[in-house]
């Protein structure tokens, strides 16, 4: 019987999972709490949960029952995987709607004035059709960034309103460029602004910025190098298969099992297969 493999992998949780639990006041907003504590949180009506011990607040470490709170368990898994990747020297972060981003799992390469970095985008979910504690749904993309830093004046002309990523130093990992000159780079990081050294940051490039700085021909070169187009400038009909394989390679490159807060760990399984009746 034929099978269709999905970009979802089963994940099992072994052992105890713990998080820090503190009281939540009625008027406390999730984003305000994250800014105050400097870490992601999961909020319930009367509680605030975090993977790290919150400074300046009363909190206690509590064990979770995965069957008690599906969303809270997935939050614990997400924070554990990001921490695991960062501990191995990867660039890892949490995004909106529970998404996670990872860079540095596969080798990058350069084209023209840009570095092309394979990026894994992932999120945890629970699916009734999969016999596992959770699944991790993944996809591959390519992040384009300038090979030169924002200390270069010709690059500064295109920087305002674009995203910057740290390539050296110990400032914030990424931010939105508010202004830049020879001596300082001002980044918007959440609701705050940070002043950092321009030589520590490169510019994340989208198609508009690439065309404005380097021209349409370079954009095509990047699309070919990223596997979106073929060398004859046609849509790559194997791109979906290539991205599926690349996403699986990056996911496995994270290194498993992954330790959870407490004494537990996560194990990764093989990609979910859907059996096709009568398929070829």
Helix or strand (DSSP H, E) at 223: helix 216-225
Over range 165-170, report the average pLDDT: 94
Write out the two tokens for 186.
Answer: 């001002």
pLDDT for position 3: 41
Q: Counting runs of H as helices and runs of E as strands, what totals does the chain give?
A: 6, 19
Is 162 within 8 Å of 186 (Cβ atoms)?
Answer: no
Query: What gap in Å lies between CA 214 and CA 182, rounded to an integer?
Result: 21
pLDDT for position 235: 84
Sequence-ordered list of residues with C-beta below 8 angstroms from that of 241, at least 6 positions apart, any chain:
none
Sequence-ordered list of residues with C-beta below 8 angstroms from that of 128, at least 6 positions apart, any chain:
none
45 vs 280, more confident: 45
Is 144 within 8 Å of 114 (Cβ atoms)?
Answer: yes
Nearest to 119 by CA among 226, 208, 258: 226
45 vs 66, more confident: 45
Is 34 within 8 Å of 55 (Cβ atoms)?
Answer: no
List C-alpha distances in Å: 87 to 9, 77, 81: 23, 15, 10
pLDDT for position 70: 85
Domain locations along the chain: 8-256
pLDDT for position 207: 95
Q: Write down the pTM of the prediction.
A: 0.87
pLDDT for position 142: 96
List C-alpha distances in Å: 201 to 158, 167, 171, 194: 14, 5, 9, 13
Range 233-242 contact pairs with CB under 8 angstroms and sequence separation of 24 or more:
none
274 vs 160, more confident: 160
pLDDT single digits (tens) 168-195: 998 999 999 999 998 999 999 877 899 9
Residue 268 has pLDDT above 50, yes or no: yes
Sequence-ordered list of residues with C-beta below 8 angstroms from that of 103, at least 6 positions apart, any chain:
90, 91, 92, 117, 118, 119, 120, 143
pLDDT for position 197: 97
pLDDT single digits (tens) 204-260: 999 999 999 999 999 999 999 999 888 877 887 877 888 899 999 999 999 999 999
């Amino acid at each position: 019987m034929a099978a269709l493999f999905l970009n979802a992998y089963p994940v099992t949780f072994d052992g105890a999972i713990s998080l820090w639990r503190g009281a939540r006041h009625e008027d406390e907003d999730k984003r305000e709490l994250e800014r105050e504590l400097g870490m992601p949180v999961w909020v319930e009506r009367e509680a605030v949960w975090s993977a790290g011990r919150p400074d300046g607040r009363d909190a206690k470490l509590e064990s979770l029952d995965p069957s008690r709170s599906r969303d809270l368990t997935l939050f614990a898994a997400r924070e554990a995987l990001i921490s695991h990747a960062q501990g191995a020297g990867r660039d890892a972060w949490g995004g909106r709607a529970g998404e996670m981003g990872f860079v540095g799992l596969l080798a990058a390469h350069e084209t023209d004035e840009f570095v092309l970095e394979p990026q894994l985008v992932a999120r945890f979910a629970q699916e009734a059709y999969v016999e596992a504690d959770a699944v991790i749904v993944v996809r591959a993309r390519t992040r384009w960034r300038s090979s030169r830093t924002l200390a270069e004046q010709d690059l500064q002309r295109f920087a305002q309103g674009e995203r910057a990523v740290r390539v050296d130093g110990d400032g914030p990992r990424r931010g939105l460029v508010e202004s830049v000159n020879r001596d300082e780079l001002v980044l918007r990081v959440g609701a705050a602004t940070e002043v950092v050294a321009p030589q520590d940051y490169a510019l994340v490039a989208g198609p508009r910025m690439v065309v404005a700085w380097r021209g349409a021909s370079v954009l095509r070169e990047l699309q070919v190098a990223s596997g979106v187009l073929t060398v004859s400038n046609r849509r790559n009909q194997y791109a979906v298969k290539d991205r599926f394989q690349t996403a699986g390679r990056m996911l496995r490159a994270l290194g498993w099992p992954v330790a959870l807060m407490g004494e537990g760990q996560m194990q990764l399984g093989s990609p979910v297969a859907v059996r096709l009746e009568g398929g070829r």
